Amino acid sequence: MGAQKYPKISGFELIQQIGGGGFSIVFRAAHIEDHRVAACKLVSLSHETSEKDRKTIEKEIRVHSALKHSNVLEFIDASVVEPQHNHQYVPGIYMLLEFAAGGDLFDKIAPDVGVGDDVAHFYFGQLVDGMSYIHNQGVCHRDLKPENILLDAAGVLKISDFGLSAVFKLKESGKTRSLTERCGSLPYVAPELNTDSPYQAEPIDVWGIGVILFTLLAGNTPWDEPTQHSPEYSRYLSGEIFAEAPWNRLGKVTLSLVCGLLTVDPTKRMTLADVYQHPWCLRPSQLAQQGVQALADKLTESLRMTGDLGYATPAALDNGEMEMDQDGDEIMLSATHQSQFTQSLLLFTQTQSGKRYTPHLTRFYATLAPPLLMSLVKESLEGLGVKCKLSTKDSATEGTSVLRFRVGGYDRRQVLFKGWVEVERFGYKGKDGSFCVMKRDEGNPISWRQLWKALIKSEAVEPHVLRK
């Protein structure tokens, strides 16, 4: 059997895998003639795929495709390749989505530092606008967490991933229903999901928004889970936590909003209508007037302060524009070059074959050749308690041999993370060096950054890392 290939979806060719593992993979896709870029989420299908799983994906498509708002990732189209056609194409459900060229919002946040009041205020406003619209359409998201908050090429916030969403209200009659299904990720779920009783839809998203606001301000989620098992949550209930960092840094007005959103009793929790009236939200945004360059600078300020950004683009590589490689990156650039935002966020990486779009800021350059760096990286990660599994084949991405291995584990909040470490050759001062990127598929972007930082600071790796 020949190698399977991917079909064109609405004229878009799948060009490069940018994320995903397990059940779904996300690709960057390009429409060559129209100079447009999109993302394509592929959920694989086999003869074993159950009817229930199919219905879940169909529901996601139905819900997501009906939502049209500037702060919701746009659903463009979907196609299905049935398993019996696997001789021709990779079987699966292909969802063509707006491409969030700015990557993850939370990938830009320094752990335990946060983004500062102005950036938090700017993005919180967009999150609330998007969620108000979604609720008005009768939909509850149910999986609001940092990894589902993306940015487009101009730095606009986009809510994504409607895989766990539910319709709780009929738009025609306004009739609502309570929900019963238990879902979501422990650090972000509302406490009422810990009981067996049905729950109201809107308050659980409001709670999720509260956790996201706290995370923007503090650079970490507030607790592992909203139960007595979490010491932090218990201290939140008793009020003791307000004397501790980072809570004691928040300021009175900000704290009243965070606690209003994170009110344990869902009937007393703030509504989105209340949020709009809160003094913290009523003030005009300082950033909205300043343009994308200022936004990008403000957003990455904490990464510059901690020195993290100096690893992503070391001074040694500042040798002007390099030629582009030919894999649709010219399109990537022509589609986003009007955006100073992606340029300022350093989302383009210098590799052997020229400059390439890399949405991950968890990357670094080293003075060792790839095989050697690879073994040191693997050894160091295993020393940090991370499970590493070598990939059977070298993926020949963009015509270069890339060494890669799979990593996984649990972060400090007991959230599962999974991703890839990729190492490719990079010539440095006439010698063999390496470019290494850590690509996250699942898990909190902030703890992924902590893992990356622990790796480059590890005894074996640090002496070889280039920095600004």
Going by C-alpha positions, the residue among 163, 143, 265 that lies closest to residue 208 is 143
Report how far residue 85's alpha carbon sits from residue 93's, in angstroms, rounded to the nearest whole number. Answer: 13
Going by their DSSP bridges, the two strands 387-390 and 400-410 should be labelled as antiparallel
143 given a catalytic annotation:
yes
437, HSE (Cβ side, Cα atoms, 13 Å): 22
Phi, psi of 392 (to 5 degrees): -65, -35
Phi, psi of 456 (to 5 degrees): -75, -15
Instruction: Determine how many CB atoms are found less than 10 A away from the CB of residue 317.
Output: 15
Element (H, E) at 234: helix 231-238
From residue 182, alpha-carbon distances to 27, 190, 196, 201, 307 in Å are 30, 11, 9, 12, 40
Cβ–Cβ under 8 Å, residues 182 and 191: no
The residue among 37, 146, 122, 59 whose CA lies nearest residue 444 is 146
Of 104, 143, 152, 441, which residue is the catalytic one?
143
DSSP letters, 247-284, are GGGS-HHHHHHHHHHT-SSTTTSPPHHHHHHSHHHHSP
Distance of CA 23 to the CA centre of its chain: 17
Distance CA 357, CA 101 (A): 9
Q: Which residues, including other chains, have CB under 8 Å from residue 451's CB and lie 6 or more apart?
A: 381, 384, 386, 411, 417, 438
Annotated binding site for ATP: 41
Q: What is the 3-state secondary structure (H, E, C) of 81-94?
A: ECHHHCCCECCEEE
* Cα→Cα distances 377→46, 228, 372, 422, Å: 35, 38, 9, 10
Determine contact, residues 30/331, Cβ cutoff 8 Å.
Answer: yes
Provide the token pair at 180.
């019963």
The pair of three-digit structure tokens given for residue 195, joined into one six-digit string: 């009981």
Is the peptide bond between 226 and the residue preceding it cis, with omega within 30 degrees of 0? Answer: no
Phi/psi for 168 (5° steps) reads: -115, -5
User: Phi and psi of 299, rounded to 5°?
Assistant: -65, -35
Residue positions in the annotated binding site? 41
Name the phi and psi angles at 81, rounded to 5. Answer: -110, 115
Catalytic residues: 143
